[in-house]
Amino acid sequence: MEKIRVLIADDSAIIRGLLEKAFKASDFEIVDLVSNGRKALDSAQEKKPDLVITDFDMPELNGIEATKIIHGKLHIPVVMFSENMEARDGAMKSGVLLFEQKPALSAFKMDALKTFVDKVKAAYKTLKPKKSVEGNAETIQTFNSFKIVVLGASTGGPTAVQTVLSSLKENFPLPILYVQHIDVGADSKMAAWFSESCPNIHFKLAENGEEAKAGTVYMAQADKHLLIDFVNANGNPVLKLSDEPPERFLRPAVNKLFKSAAVHYKNACLAVLMTGMGRDGAEGCKAVIDAGGMTICEDKSTCTVFGMPAAAIELNAATEILPRHDIAERLLNLTKEKGGINL
């Protein structure tokens, strides 16, 4: 397998050494180790790595300033690894592929670094060149090739999901399929509440056999699994409501939806897993990642219960981890403008 060529930028020689060791152990090729943003920019221009790993707090050019040039002009994906969590919002807006918190030097452990490397590999996978089916030409798998968004939540989910949906623009370009753990009899009232609180997007309960269309959210009915039966000639999913047995006492189950979407849409699937108790959705996220798709898990800082996202993260099935107020903007960036990588 072809190695991913990585440039590492950090003003600490110790951190650079630890990162070099961790990435080399996971079949990455290190093209350069540099100590500040200016050197990162110069090296990126000269050596053209596949990926840049950078800190935020660095001399001459900080990580965000460097990212705006490395990603914005050189079109090289950037991952930011920083102790400074206040830099996250600016980093995401500047176009980083992934932002991860760096532990203090005294807390560095190789197991934690391996988890970081696995997340980087999963994130890069969404950008990896794909071979054309009809010839030898390569086409770049860009984020705007997503064709479906699947969304799952449990405890605290309605408020969390409302935060995301209400921040999406009108005419969102993809269908959204949504599983919420909910009591029988409460689904119609919840759908009505979403319709009222999210007037920017059409919201309805999913119906068996209907075609899911862009700009609409289809929520699973209580006590029915929501699945994709097939993809029609328009490229849209045709929905199936299933009475299959509950999974881990849950019907609908997030895992069922996510796995179904992964089978039918593969690398065109974008999954979002939000607050909830238990582990539902973790295996589904892994299925999406394994199929070449992308997953976003809600960060612990905004979860009512950090159960479901934490379980996915433990499985290395989270491409990105974001607080809920950043998820809508990320979805919009991932689905906008044809013809380029929109991070």
229 is catalytic: no
Catalytic residue among 154, 167, 202, 264: 154
Give 10-18 contacts, CB < 8 A, sequence gap 24+. Answer: 10/35, 10/53, 10/54, 10/55, 10/58, 10/81, 11/35, 11/36, 11/55, 11/57, 11/58, 11/59, 12/55, 12/105, 14/105, 15/55, 15/102, 15/105, 15/108, 18/108, 18/110, 18/113
Torsion angle (degrees, nearest 10) of CA 251, 253, 256, 262: 150
Strand 294-298 and strand 269-273: the pairing is: parallel
Pairwise CA distance, residues 284 & 152, whole Å: 10
Pairwise CA distance, residues 59 & 44, whole Å: 17
181 is catalytic: yes
Catalytic residue among 32, 280, 299, 326: 280
Contacts of residue 265, Cβ cutoff 8 Å, sequence gap at least 6: 147, 148, 228, 231, 237, 291, 293
Pairwise CA distance, residues 300 & 307, whole Å: 9
Helix (H, G, I), strand (E, B), or coil: what is residue 50?
coil
Catalytic residue among 181, 202, 225, 264: 181
Helix (H, G, I), strand (E, B), or coil: what is residue 271?
strand
| Tokens of residue 167, six digits | 């921040």
111 is catalytic: no
Side chain identity, residue 20:
E
E strands, 126-264, in order: 129-131, 138-140, 148-153, 176-180, 202-205, 216-219, 225-231, 237-242
Residues labelled as active-site residues: 154, 181, 280
